Amino acid sequence: MSSPHSSLGVRLAQLRERIERACVQAGREPGSVALLPVSKTFPASVLAQALDLGLTRLGENKLQEVRDKQEQLADRNVQWVMIGHLQTNKAKDAARLASEVQSLDRLALAHALDRRLQVEQRSLDVLVQVKTSPEDSKFGLPPDQLPAFMQALRSMDTLRVRGLMTMAVNSPDTDAVRACFAQLRLWRDRLQALGYEQVQGLSMGMSGDFELAIQEGSTEVRVGSALFGARDYA
């Protein structure tokens, strides 16, 4: 069992403190920002420690990895949150394994998920991933396509759109990073004004930039390395 005094427990407490402090500094209610621990690349033994500490939602970016970890943690209650690019032909696995998909970025994927979810007779919380950064390496729907995208999703009853997700530009220029987050919030507000009141969540901010994201209205930060340590992709 992992106690609050284990190194992971200490890092979790320190991270929660930083999130709270950022909320207070931004004049926001501490507790208005949720934490999504991002456990990709870490072994099931580390995830088990996180679960022992009371975390239940875990962010992952590869379905194969979720499948493996799910098997190893079969006796545990985990809500898997997909945050990585999903190929359309993986919709079947996503519909079966994920409790939430934050990387919905195109209609083909939405249709594929909707079809599979109908087969599984379940619904899924989704966030629309928006491209707010010019980098080619970043996925996401171009923001000006959001209204038409939301309109198209209306016919897909299995998908519950809870909000928007983005990755900010990877840059030391904090103004450029902040602009990505501000852009996501602006589009969330526009969608609400168009009548999509359920689109409330703003999943934005990672280990290196979550304080800025909280200043710009983030409701959920996705934190990996600041909690679990540096990732080893070898």
Question: Can you read off the two tokens belonging to residue 38?
Answer: 């991002």
As measured in angstroms, the least distance from the Cβ of 103 to ligand PLP is: 7
As measured in angstroms, the least distance from the Cβ of 75 to ligand PLP is: 26
Residue number of the CB closest to ligand PLP reads 224
Task: Classify each residue of 102-136 as buried b or exposed e, where b means 16 or more C-beta atoms within 10 Å of its C-beta.
Answer: bbbbbeebbbbbbebbeeeeeebbbbbbbbbbeee
Which of residues 61 and 158 has its CB atom nearest to ligand PLP in the complex? 61
Residues that bind ligand PLP (CB under 6 A): 38, 40, 61, 83-84, 167, 206-208, 222-226
Tell me the chain's radius of gyration from C-alpha atoms.
17
As measured in angstroms, the least distance from the Cβ of 47 to ligand PLP is: 15
Q: Which of 72, 117, 111 is nearest to 97 (CA)?
A: 117
By three-state DSSP, how is residue 61 classified? Answer: coil
Q: Which of 8, 3, 58, 59 is nearest to 229 (CA)?
A: 8
Which of residues 119 and 142 has its CB atom nearest to ligand PLP in the complex? 142
Which of residues 99 and 118 has its CB atom nearest to ligand PLP in the complex? 99
As measured in angstroms, the least distance from the Cβ of 155 to ligand PLP is: 27
Which of residues 84 and 147 has its CB atom nearest to ligand PLP in the complex? 84
